[in-house]
Amino acid sequence: MNQTMKAAMLHGAKDIRVETCPVPDLSPGMVRLRVRRAGICGSDSHYFEHGYCGPFVPTRPFILGHEFTADVVAVGAGVTAPAVGTRVTVNPPRACGVCEACKGGRSNLCRQTIMLGSASTTPPTDGAFAEFVSVRADQCHELPAGMDDGLGAMMEPLAVALHAVKRAGTVSGKRVLVVGGGPIGLLLGMTCRAFGAAPVAVSDIVAARRQTALELGADVALDPTAKDLPAQVKQLTGEGFDVIFEVSGARPALRQAFELVRSGGTIVQIGTVGTEDVPLPANQLMVREIQFVGSFRYGNVFDEAIRLVAAGRLNLQPLISRVFPLAETLPAMFLAADKAQTLKVQIQIGN
């Protein structure tokens, strides 16, 4: 095959260029994938807007992207599955498989993880905004024949939501608030509703996202800046929400969650708040027995996410705002950063 490919290479803040670069190597245990569709994640947007993401500063230009659908086009030595020709989505972090976290079934906590499209490694690890990408075979999850490529590329953000719901314990019959109406927050609201939560409320400072949440099935959309918010919550829930998912990563939103959760309730932290410590009301945690739980990426939920969508339990199509060709990655990145206008922007790379 041709030894070069087209890829969208990030060179710095607001500087992403479609260039020709080498096709990634195929090592033993790995598979080479031809990317069909890739989604732009919040972390991709952060790299694009600022040139870095949190503590991760790229040491060289690299390729973003970790939400995608692809075809297996070659397999390395020792690979028995997936076979060439299989259409897959990918669990993008490659855990080491041998540490205590991995052996204990919590590979999402592996400290040796190599993440696609991330500067968390030195040098950065190239991702999926390219014609080809190589991953370890066990990162691949086969997609049903009838599933749209765009939906396949939504499995990664859905897995974030699904893992968070599992971290809450159970949401069936629970009064749930999702703080943050971006793609992950909306997916969380939809997943909680599918799992039997009632009512499901979504809060966001952007009015358009509150409206979208209602259109996607939320029972209530709340403005977190409203002066009468406590009164609204009391009327809706009585003593407060049973479970609150904090997705926005905003410090005031996290602090507000402690005011809106009922005694004995659960707050699940999904949003990245930043690198500095955040003051928390420890006395409330103690005297009200609030459970404060972290949820990081995804556990082993990709196949379950695929089944939920394939069975029609979750309709993710309305979350895909627009699709751009690879050659137009730059305008795609600018549009993805406009939270008032878009939810999920994707890039069409191959057929």
Q: What is the per-residue pLDDT across 11-33, written as a single tens digit (0 to 9) for each? A: 999 999 999 999 999 999 999 99
The answer to whether the CB of 206 falls within 8 A of the CB of 339 is yes
Mean per-residue pLDDT for 224-243? Answer: 97
The CATH class of 161-294 is alpha beta
Q: How many degrees, rounded to 5, is the angle at CA 202 between CA 37 and CA 331?
A: 35
pLDDT (tens digit, 9 = 90+) per residue, 250-264? 999 999 999 999 999
In terms of CATH architecture, what is 4-154+316-348? Alpha-Beta Complex (3.90)
Structural domain spans, the chain: 4-154+316-348, 161-294
* Higher pLDDT pick, 272 / 262: 262
Cβ neighbourhood burial of 188 (10 Å; 0-12, 13-18, 19+) = buried
DSSP state, residue 16: E
Mean per-residue pLDDT for 197-226? Answer: 96
Confidence label for 166 from pLDDT (cuts 50, 70 and 90): very high
pLDDT (tens digit, 9 = 90+) per residue, 24-57? 999 999 999 999 999 999 999 999 999 999 889 9
Q: Is the pLDDT of residue 213 over 90?
A: yes
pLDDT at 1: 67
Q: Is the pLDDT of residue 273 over 90?
A: no
Question: Max CA-CA distance within the chain?
Answer: 64
Mean per-residue pLDDT for 88-103? Answer: 96
Q: Is the pLDDT of residue 198 over 70?
A: yes
pLDDT at 183: 95
Share of the chain above pLDDT 70, in %: 100
**Rounded-to-integer distance, Cα 202 and Cα 161, Å:** 14
The CA–CA distances, whole Å, from 326 to 32, 40, 231 equal 19, 12, 48
Q: Mean pLDDT for the chain?
A: 96
Q: Is the pLDDT of residue 146 over 80?
A: yes
pLDDT at 274: 75
pLDDT at 335: 96
pLDDT (tens digit, 9 = 90+) per residue, 288-319? 999 999 999 998 899 999 999 999 999 999 99
Mean per-residue pLDDT for 105-132? Answer: 96
**Rounded-to-integer distance, Cα 346 and Cα 351, Å:** 14
H or E element in which residue 136 lies:
strand 132-136
pLDDT (tens digit, 9 = 90+) per residue, 320-337? 999 999 999 999 999 999
Cβ neighbourhood burial of 105 (10 Å; 0-12, 13-18, 19+) = exposed
